[in-house]
Amino acid sequence: MEESRQGGTVDHPQQDYTHYNFDEEYDLDRVPYWFFGAGHTAPGYPHKPLYEWTWVNHCNRGFRYAADKLSLPYSLGLDFRSYFGYELIRCGLPSEKVKKERSSTFREGISPMIENFDELYNQSNEELMGYYRELKVFDVENASWFELELLLERLMDLDKRMWEIHMYFNCGLGAVYCLFEDLCRELLDIDDKHPLFLKLLAGFHNKGIEVDRKMFVLSQRIKELGLVDLFSGRETASELFPKVETSENGRQWLKEFNAFLWEDGWRSNLFFEYETSWIEDPTPAIITMRQFLKYDTFRPDELRPKLEAERKQAEEEILSRVQPDQRAWFKTLMNVAQKFSFENEDHQYYNESYCFALTRYLLLKVAARMVAVGTLDEAEDIFFLVPEEIHKGLADPETYRLQHNVNSHKRQWEANKKIVPPPFFGTVSIEEAGRLLFEGKEPLLTKVSIGEFVVPRPELKADLLGLCGCSGVAEGTARVVMAPEYLDAVQPGDILVAPSTSGPWTAVFSLLKGVVIDRGGTLSHAAIVGREYGIPVVANVMEGTTKIKSGQRIKVDGNVGAVYILD
């Protein structure tokens, strides 16, 4: 049996359906470390086979695409392995020869990002939306089996292209952001955790806030149409909607809501998986609108003028401290670096959310046809297969059965759910591994998902210490929420304590006094949205969800990255 390095054992072998399985002997032969990526695969939530296959194949490829196209001198991109359905991660470091070669072409590679970001970004989003518009109307029910094979290929091509676009902009903007931060350190002695720097990143429109605004408008329509009493309970969408349909006003609201869903409901609560989307079950949207019913105004719109004014004031103050002969280049980098904060939240709508939800929507329809001829037992079973197996089934579905493959993968997945991966595999110390991980200057690690290492500050006498995500100080009742399906427990004035947050968490920020997250950096979702809502955020405290209990009084100091348990 394999030692899990957590004191337990793994008593079943890995099924190598991705061909990216972690092999401790060979993967540590020339690479000294691999870290467990708990942000994408928390313990108990391993990927199912289909998503695992697309993730390790296409996301790995996306990083290589970006690093090559941008000619990044310090990184070959992040690299992933599958460990019983969980993610292991490391940063590929180029040789000194490659560093030298790429350093000479980096300016050429990054120039389009600096000179023409808006046009490039809009073109890429429109390219993806073209895929989505085409696929949303694909007639699965009347397609031939071969046409369904072509559909599967089209979906895999979409996923591949999505990751290329995703990583090109994230890595490119991230590189500029890090250059700008380095310049701020050199010229101004501040970094991106300084309150003045953080003000540069607030007051920007993004698609996540836009979708929340639409849900706020729909919540106000509930009031206008006299439907508030119907929405006062805790029913799911399937329980609530039959009651709403009984009145003319209710039917009008449902018509407006369904139009919203068809445009913007391509998202799910579990971000990195082909999980139930709002198109299938809009209960998460209903929970969000119930929260919005408590307010008569949309808070980000109220705060935007103030945040924009503070941002412009911060820009002027910072530029005034830069020597005149350096000011033009500094301002150019600043303007592009600011877009990384906006894009890091905005891209989720066009990239992961829409792509994964639409892929699931279409594959469920394909699977329903396979169920009808006995190839599968249940439509959800298709997510326990990899593309080669699905193609095999579609080649002759009326005589071929995939139940054996599904059942084998399901047994593996159920067993994987009991595994707690070790935080680290390596032939060097964890401290040295951390240094190597961050040597690649990958902003998706240092600024977004993992966050920089927190420098001890014993003089603060804090119960938890993290990174400054948004400045400010707040005291309130802690509300520990481990997953977005439990957000209805949040009350106005609470301080949210969570492992991390993503798109489905955004609307609840309107209720909060502050946020504490276990993992994440200054450009994590919680930090970006916290700035737009003007609430203090402390990120990367590591143990917030284990040390803090719901109901305790806590103090969050976003100015210094400290959390105090008052009870």
Per DSSP, what are the bridge partners of residue 479? 496
Q: Superfamily assignment of 451-565 in CATH? A: Phosphohistidine domain (3.50.30.10)
Average pLDDT, the chain: 93
Mean pLDDT of 215-223: 98
State mean pLDDT over 272-295.
92
3-state SS, one letter per residue, for 109-123? HHHHHHHCHHHHHHH
CB 180 within 8 A of CB 333: yes
Question: From start to end of 421-566, where are the E strands?
Answer: 424-426, 464-465, 467-470, 473-480, 494-498, 514-517, 537-539, 553-557, 562-565
pLDDT at 243: 97
In this predicted structure, what is the pLDDT of residue 447?
A: 87
Angle between helices 145-188 and 96-115 (to 10 degrees): 100
412 pLDDT exceeds 60?
A: yes
Give the separation between CA 251 and CA 119, rounded to whole angstroms.
Answer: 41
User: For residue 262, what are its two tokens?
Assistant: 């068809």
The predicted pLDDT at position 9 comes to 56
pLDDT digits (tens, 9 = 90+) for 452-495: 888 899 999 999 999 999 999 999 999 999 888 788 899 999 99
Instruction: Please state, in angstroms and rounded to a whole number, the distance separating the CA atoms of residues 261 and 139.
Output: 19
pLDDT at 2 (0 to 100): 45
Letter string b/e over residues 85-97, b meaning 16 or more CB atoms within 10 A of that residue's CB: bbbbbbbbbbeee
115 within 8 A of 94, measured Cβ to Cβ = no
Q: Where in the chain is the domain with CATH 3.50.30.10?
A: 451-565
Mean pLDDT score, 394-408 = 95
Residue 320 has pLDDT above 70, yes or no: yes
The residue with tokens 């579905």 is: 397
